[in-house]
Amino acid sequence: MRTWVWVFSVLVVYGFVLRISADQKARTERISGSAGDVLEDNPVGRLKVYIYELPSKYNKKLLQKDPRCLNHMFAAEIYMHRFLLSSPVRTLNPEEADWFYTPIYTTCDLTPTGLPLPFKSPRMMRSAVQLISSSRPYWNRTEGADHFFVVPHDFGACFHYQEEKAIERGILPLLQRATLVQTFGQRNHVCLNEGSITIPPYAPPQKMQAHLIPQETPRSIFVYFRGLFYDVNNDPEGGYYARGARAAVWENFKDNPLFDISTDHPTTYYEDMQRAIFCLCPLGWAPWSPRLVEAVVFGCIPVIIADDIVLPFADAIPWEEIGVFVAEEDVPNLDTILTSIPPEVILRKQRLLANPSMKRAMLFPQPAQAGDAFHQILNGLARKLPHDKTIYMKKHGPKILNWTAGPVGDLKPW
C-alpha cells in the first residue's frame, strides 16, 4: 500500500516538473518530413561505410598547405572525412561495407583571396579513382555505384565555377554511377545526378552560437538581406549574375522601408538576422548559399529566389512549409507576395524553424551530435539501401564507364 503511495507521489511530482518545463520552452512544432519523421532517425546500425586509404597528397597535404580550407563554405568535405573516421558506421572490413568513401579534398586549392580553383580537380579525382580501382576490386565490381563522394563545389562534380562551362563539362564521366553528396541542386540540370544527396554548405557553428541574442528581442525588420546585387568585377551591367534576380530586388526595393537590403558587411550580421522576420536567399552565380543555413539557425524565414532549386535534404525536410519560394519572374512583386502571407502561416513557419532538430540538421558541429548534418547524410545513404542487384557488373561483361571521355586536359595524370 505504501509503495503505491510513493509511486503515485513520484508520478505527480514528475508530471509537475514536466509541465513547468514545457511552459518555459519556446513553442515549436515537430517537423514531419515527406518520408515520415526521418530527421530524428539514427543511422548507426543501418549502414556500414568503408574508407579508402588514399595517400596524403589527396587530403592531408592539401590541408597543411592551406588551412583556410577548414573555414570556408566548402569545408564539409573535410569535416565529413573526420566524422567518418571516428564514427560507429565505419567498418575496417570492406567485404561487409555497404558504401565506400574516398577521402579526397577537391576544393582545397585556393587562390590568395580564398576562392577555390577547380581546374585541377577533375584530374585529381580521376587519379584517385584510378588508384582505388587498381588497388581494390570494389570499384570495378560495381563501377562505382556503391561509392559516394563529397563534392561541395559550386556546381558539384562538374568542377567549374562558371555555369556554362560546368554544363559543357557535365559531371565527371567516372562519377556517373556513384552517389554524389553535393551542395548544388537544381532540377533538370546536368550537374545534378538522379540520386544525389544535397547537403547544406558549411557554416561555422561556434561562430553562429557566439552571436545569439536573447529570444525576446522583438523582430522588427521585415525583410533582411546583405550581399551583392551586381557583381561589378565580372558582370557590371547585371543580367548574368543571379540571372538578374538580385539586381531586380535592388532596383525594385531599394527605397522600400520594409526591405533592409544593402551591400554592407556589418559586424552585427548575425544579430540582425535574428531581428528579422524574412531573410532573402536569392541565387548568386550558383543557386545555393550559406544564407539558408544562417536563416534557419537564426529563426528567420528564408525567402528562396532560385528557380528549380533543390534544397538540402529535400526528401527529409518539407521546405515548402518552412520557407517561402518566389519565382525569379515574380521578384518585382516580392513585397505583395510577402505581405499577403497570412500571419498564422508566418507564425507556423517560425515554430517549425524554432524546432531544434531543424537547426541541428543544417549544421556540421565538431564533435558531431545526434541529428546533425553528418547524420542526415548517413540517413540519406541508408535510405538508398539495399543496393539493387543490377549494379553489380558481370565478371567479364561490358564496361559502362568510359575512362577516356571528357576534355583532353582531364586525362593528364595528377
Partner 1 sequence: MKFSAWQQSYANKRSSSFRASSGPLDSSSDGSIKSASAIFWLILHGLCCLISLVLGFRFSRLVFFLLFSSPAANIYTAPFRSASELAQTLTLYSTPASTNIELPAANRTAGITASPNSRVVVGRHGIRIRPWPHPNPVEVMQAHRIIERVQKEQRLQFGVKHPRTVIVVTPTYVRTFQALHLTGVMHSLMNVPYDLVWIVVEAGGATNETASIIAKSGLRTFHVGFRQRMPNLWAERHRLEARMRLHALRIVREKKLDGIVMFADDSNMHSMELFDEIQNVKWVGALSVGILAHSSQTGEESSASVIPKEDEENRAVPVQGPACNSSNQLVGWHTFNSLPYVGKSATYIGDREIVLPRKLEWAGFVLNSQLLWKDAEDRPEWVKDLDTLDHADEDVETPLSLLKDVSLVEPLGSCGRQIMLWWLRVEARADSKFPPGWIIDPPLEITVPSKRTPWPDAPPELPSNEKAVTGVQEHTLKHSSKTQTSRSKRSSRSKRKHDPKTVELQLPGRHSEN
Shortest distance in whole angstroms from residue 246 CB to partner 1: 9
Is 244 a binding residue for partner 1 by CB under 8 A? The answer is yes
Is 195 a binding residue for partner 1 by CB under 8 A? The answer is no
Cβ burial, residue 290 (10 Å; 0-12/13-18/19+): middle
Residue 292 or 331 with smaller CB distance to partner 1: 331
Is 169 a binding residue for partner 1 by CB under 8 A? The answer is no
Among candidate residues 325, 43, 402, 368, the one with its CA nearest the CA of residue 197 = 43
Among candidate residues 297, 72, 308, 324, the one with its CA nearest the CA of residue 184 = 308
Choice from 333, 356, 387, 409 touching partner 1 (CB under 8 A): 333
Cα separation, 36 vs 318, in Å, equals 10
Cα separation, 268 vs 281, in Å, equals 18
Is 358 a binding residue for partner 1 by CB under 8 A? The answer is no
Stretch of 44-52, 99-107, 139-147, 253-261 contacting partner 1, by CB under 8 A: 253-261
Is 220 a binding residue for partner 1 by CB under 8 A? The answer is yes
- Asked if residue 187 lies in contact with residue 310, where contact means CB atoms within 8 angstroms, the answer is yes
Phi and psi at 93, nearest 5°, equal: -110, 105
Stretch of 40-48, 59-67, 140-148, 239-247 contacting partner 1, by CB under 8 A: 239-247
Is 247 a binding residue for partner 1 by CB under 8 A? The answer is yes
Stretch of 89-97, 122-130, 209-217, 405-413 contacting partner 1, by CB under 8 A: 209-217
3-state secondary structure string, 173-186? Answer: HHHCCCEEEECCCE
- Asked if residue 356 lies in contact with residue 28, where contact means CB atoms within 8 angstroms, the answer is yes
Is 347 a binding residue for partner 1 by CB under 8 A? The answer is yes
Task: Classify the phi-psi angles of 409: left when phi > 0, otherwise alpha if psi is within -120 to 50, otherwise beta.
Answer: alpha
Shortest distance in whole angstroms from residue 74 CB to partner 1: 22
Q: Which residues contact 345 (CB under 8 A, 6 or more apart)?
A: none
Cα separation, 380 vs 388, in Å, equals 16
Shortest distance in whole angstroms from residue 159 CB to partner 1: 16
Shortest distance in whole angstroms from residue 186 CB to partner 1: 7
Residue 105 or 155 with smaller CB distance to partner 1: 155
Cα separation, 270 vs 298, in Å, equals 8
Shortest distance in whole angstroms from residue 212 CB to partner 1: 13
Is 190 a binding residue for partner 1 by CB under 8 A? The answer is yes
Is 338 a binding residue for partner 1 by CB under 8 A? The answer is yes
Phi and psi at 282, nearest 5°, equal: -80, 160
Shortest distance in whole angstroms from residue 205 CB to partner 1: 23
Choice from 36, 332, 356, 409 touching partner 1 (CB under 8 A): 332
Binding residues for partner 1 (CB under 8 A): 26-27, 163-164, 167-168, 186-190, 214-216, 218-220, 222, 237-240, 243-244, 247-248, 251-253, 255-258, 277, 307-308, 328-329, 331-333, 335-336, 338-341, 343, 346-347, 350
